Structures are given as structure tokens and as C-alpha cells.
Amino acid sequence: MALAKTEASGGSGLLPEVLAFSSSLALDRQLLREDLVGSLAHVTMLGRTGVIPKADAQAIREGLIALWKRADAGKLELPDEEDVHMAVEVELNNTIGAPAALLHSARSRNDQVATDLRLHVREVAANALRELTGFIQEIVTRARAEKELILPSYTHRQRAQPISLAYWLASYGAAFLRDAQALSFVLEQCKLLPLGVGAISGTSLPIDREISRTLLGFEGVTLNGMDTVGDRDFALDLLYATARFFVHASRLSTDLVDFTTQEFGFATLSGDISMGSSMMPQKKNPDVFELIRGKSGKAVGNLVGLLTTVKGLPGGYNRDLQEDRASLLETAPLLLGTLSVLRLSLPRVTFNAEKCRAGLEEGFTQATDLAEALVKKGMPFRKAYMAAGALVRRCQEKGITLRAATLELAQSIDPAYDASILSVLEPAGAVARKASAGSTGPAAVEATLTVIEAQARVLAERAAQVPKLSVLFTELERATL
């Protein structure tokens, strides 16, 4: 028995234009593996519970397994149907014949697609979490090796205070750690199985959702069918975690684009990650970091797009939800591709200690240290601020750095200045003296790195617990009825 193309849509012959307009196959064929695994679990449950005869369940299982293997070998050409779910059902029918008609018992494409999407989001979030925690560990290791290099920090893009390169690196380590936490939250949001709620209100057939739950590695089943079929929160959470990662990656990129300009001169890119110009032979452009910044627009757009699609929908399933596919399916290559290039690129950025140091001195970045040294001698901060500011201005007038200021010059501004106060003008000392938690002081940076490293390790373990689709398939293949 061959299923007619339009049978799933109620059998009323659709206009070809309408079928083309409503088809999601071009995108959701990417969910083939998820769909096959979900169907394998469903039919195994149907067979075990006696909803369909065991012999038919076995025939369907073998058919689905054959489809997976053909897909794996690149030999599965999906028929041109409305979506991947129908395409699989039709191809199953082409493969095993009549029993294929039993697969969709007690199931709707509404709970089917919700299941496929959760399996997909769970796998993407776990893969991204593994990559991101790996990147965080690399940042920590690099930071430990860069404690001696001192450079200016910036507020309002004006030189602010001396920091170590380790501190700069740790700042992005801390931000990416929060993104890893957001990805771990996505996994939390994916832990309930949608399958078994049917189109909206469940089924009167004697299914057992617990069986499907165990087979697909979920921690529980969703609480309400009507909510389940209209829920894309787990997808939104992935898009949010992705957008936020990109916001951080784009800020890191902007720092590096700036640092590698001739104007800053703090860092250089190795030849294998920087690109030339087709016209200007001298150029060495930071395209990689510009592209990461550019792609962040996509990530933010995907989040806003899906939020807008979901907003204002009535309860239950609505076909609008099919429009989640583009933003969601784009996310895995966008996120994983960027992470992998970032991991390759950061080690290929080298910092120039001399230039960084010159930036510190030219920027009078030790001015706060001068004020704090006066405070330590008992001067109120506001007064010390004025005295330090006056010395900075005097040096600027004379065209010298703070370190070139003589004691005589300083005392002509305020007699409280003495040699020990001026000794704080050595920039490395400005970093070494910082003692507060979360500061650029070496002990504080090490404490920060230890926390980041430990938390990243816990999150990496969380990612490792997520069953991979290929593993689920192998277990389902072995499962008995």
C-alpha cells in the first residue's frame, strides 16, 4: 500500500504551490536521525505495551534500523513529502509495506516534532558545552602563563589602570563560564520527554510513556500535552545561550581587532589566521575576529526571530511553530563552527610586552595607585585624588611620564609626596599590589582561575552525561520487545 502524498494532510489534494509553501523537508531533513531514533523508541513501546502486535512492531523496527543504516552510508534518498516525519513514514512503507501504517498509532506529528527538536537541542547543547568548557580550560591555562605581561585596561575606551594579561583573559573566561552555565540550563530544559502526548490531549490507547522515556534517555515525561505541543522554550533557551556566547565572543573579538591595529600595537596575529587585502599588499587583516563579530548578529537575530514567532500564539500546536526550524538548525553550525575557530585563533595571538608597557606609561595609568599611596599615608581619598590629578597634569604639560616626575616636582604640588609614594609608579607594582578579591593582583587572579577551572570541569561532566544520538540508536537497535 502506497501512502498518497497528501494523506497526512487529510487526503484532500493540495495545490502543488501550497504543498511547496508549507513543506519543511528542505530544512527538517536535518532531523532525520532524531526522527528515526524517536520512532524506534515509539514503536518499541507500542510493541511492548501490546498497542500493536509484536510481529508488526518488529518489522517496523527492522525497517527503521535499515533506514538509519542507509542514511549513515549516504544511501537514503528521502521522498519528496511535506516534512521529514512524512518522508520517513512513506519510505518505511516503501521498505516494509503494510506494517508501516501502524507506526503512527498514538502519535501525532505535534509530539513527534517536539521530541525530534528536544533530541536535537539536547545534542547541540551538549556538544557546545563540551567545546566551550574545553575553550575555557585553554583560556585558564594561557592566563596562568601570562601573569607577568602587563597592559592597560580600558574604561570608555580610554586607558584606565594596569592589569595583567592573565586578568584580561580571565575576564573572558568568567563570561564564557556563564555561557557554559546557560548551556547547562538548556540541558535542564530538555530533560522531559514530549513523546506520548499525541496531538494535544493524549491518547486512549494503552501506551506507556515511561518506556519511551527510558529508551530515549530522558529524566521524566512532560506534564501537560497542550503545553508540550506548543512549547519551544528549550529551543529559545539554546538560542539565548548562543546569542549571549556570541555577545561575549564579539566583545573579545573587538578587543583583539583593536589590539592588533598599528595604533594599539599590543598584539599580532599569526599568518595562518590573518588575511591579506586583494589590493593593498601591506595588509594583515583580523578577518576571523571581524567575522565572529559579524556572525553574532545572526545569533541575536535568530533569538529575536523565534521569540517573535512564538509570541501571541494561541495554546497548543500551531503551524507557525514550523518556522522555528531555520533559526534552530542554523545554530549548531554557527555555534560549533565559531567555537572551533576561536579555539584555533586565540593561541595564535601573541602579545608584545614592550608595546603594552609603553601604553601604560603614556596613559598615566598609575594615577589611581598614586592616590591610593597617599590615602595609605592618611590623606582623605578626595584630596589624594586631587593631588594625583595635579601631578598628572603637570607631567602632561612637561611632556613626561609619571615615572619621570622628580620628588621635587611632586612636592611642589603637595608636600605629602615622598619617595615611597613615588615608588608605586612602577606599573608591575600596581598590578602586584592589588589584593582585593576579583582584582588583577596575582593571588586574586589565581583564585579566579581556580574557580573558573573547577566549575568548567563540573559542567563538562554534565555534558558528558548526555546520551549521543548514535549511542541511543545502538541501544535501541539492541532493545527487545
Count of all residues that appear for the chain in the document: 481
Q: Is position 306 an interface residue for ligand ARG (rule: CB under 6 A)?
A: no
Question: Does residue 296 contact residue 246 with C-beta atoms inside 8 Å?
Answer: yes
Rounded Cα–Cα distance for residues 425 and 427 (Å):
6
Give yes or no: 156 in active site. yes
Our answer to whether residue 277 is catalytic in this structure is yes
- Helix or strand run (H / E) with residue 162: strand 158-164
Least distance in angstroms from the C-beta of 6 to ligand ARG: 12
Nearest to 376 by CA among 331, 335, 416: 416
Specify which residues 158 forms β-bridges with. Answer: 155
Q: Looking at 22, 201, 270, 277, which residue is catalytic?
A: 277
Which of 109, 159, 213, 295: binder of ligand ARG (CB under 6 A)? Answer: 109
Binding flag, residue 255, ligand ARG (CB under 6 A):
no
CB of 31 to ligand ARG, least distance (A): 9
Which range touches ligand ARG (CB under 6 A), out of 165-173, 239-247, 314-322, 343-351?
A: 314-322
12, 156, 278, 436: the catalytic one is: 156
- Nearest-5° Cα angle at 130, 125 to 131: 100
β-strands 158-164, 150-155: how paired? Answer: antiparallel
DSSP helix/strand/coil, 138: helix
> Closest CB to ligand ARG among 48 and 109?
109
Smallest distance from ligand ARG to CB 302, Å: 17
Residue 22 CB, shortest distance to ligand ARG, in Å, is: 8
Stretch that binds ligand ARG, among 171-179, 186-194, 317-325, 463-471 (CB under 6 A): 317-325
From 34, 35, 81, 83, residue interacting with ligand ARG (rule: CB under 6 A): 83
In degrees, rounded to 5, the angle at the alpha carbon of residue 364 between the alpha carbons of residues 167 and 428 is 40
- The grid coordinates listed for 379 are 590623606
117 versus 267: smaller Cβ distance to ligand ARG: 117
CA dist., res. 32 & res. 71, Å (int): 8
Specify the 3-state DSSP secondary structure of 462. Answer: helix
321 binds ligand ARG (CB under 6 A): yes
458 DSSP assignment:
H
Helical (H) or strand (E) element with 377: none
Number of amino acids touching ligand ARG (CB under 6 A): 9
Q: Is the dihedral of CA 323, 325, 327, 328 positive or negative?
A: positive
- Alpha-helical (H) ranges within 363-422 are 367-376, 381-398, 407-413, 419-422
At which residue does the C-alpha cell 527487545 appear?
480
211 touching ligand ARG, by CB under 6 A: no
Nearer to ligand ARG, 83 or 369 (CB): 83
212 binds ligand ARG, rule: CB under 6 A: no
| Residue 110 or 164 with smaller CB distance to ligand ARG | 110
Instruction: Indicate whether 113 belongs to the interface with ligand ARG (CB under 6 A).
Output: yes
Span interacting with ligand ARG, options 33-41, 261-269, 313-321, 462-470, rule CB under 6 A: 313-321
Q: Binding segment for ligand ARG among 66-74, 108-116, 289-297, 415-423 (CB under 6 A)?
A: 108-116
Judged by CB under 6 A, the residue of 5, 24, 118, 198 near ligand ARG is 24
List all residues 6 or more positions away from 128 whose beta carbon is below 8 Å from its beta carbon.
183, 241, 242, 245, 332, 335, 336, 339
Which positions lie near ligand ARG, rule CB under 6 A?
24, 83, 109-110, 113, 317, 319, 321-322
Active-site residues, by number, are 156, 277
